[in-house]
Amino acid sequence: MRPTKLEIEHGILYVTRGRRRPAGWVLAHNSVRQSSITFGWFWVADTEHWEVCDCGGRPDKGAHYRIKSPPPVVPKNPIRTDWRNE
């Protein structure tokens, strides 16, 4: 199965039956639980937005990655909740 133009542009190839890992790409998955129907495996070209995963899935494939957790959002102007105490 040949990768689509969109898959190549985004650097993510879905793992499907018969699709082989492109040279230099690594195995990764989304952050959904493996028992979920929306769980998915991908081949990714760049690991910049991915981190090594320790879930234990697919040990036969060696190290694999998961998407990095986004940093916590801190509001610039937090809402005051202590205004009643004034």
Over range 64-83, report the average pLDDT. 70
Is the distance from CB of 66 to CB of 55 less than 8 angstroms? yes
Q: How far is CA 47 from the centre of its chain?
A: 9
Is the whole model's pTM more than 0.85, yes or no? Answer: no
How confident is residue 79, by pLDDT bands cut at 50, 70 and 90?
A: low
DSSP string spanning 11-46? TEEE--TTPPPPTT-EEEE-SS-TTSTT--EEEES-
Give yes or no for a contact between 7 and 14, defined as CB atoms under 8 angstroms apart: yes
27-68 tens-digit pLDDT: 888 766 666 666 778 888 887 878 888 887 778 877 888 877
How far, CA to CA in Å, does 42 sit from each of 46, 53, 61, 66? 12, 13, 12, 10
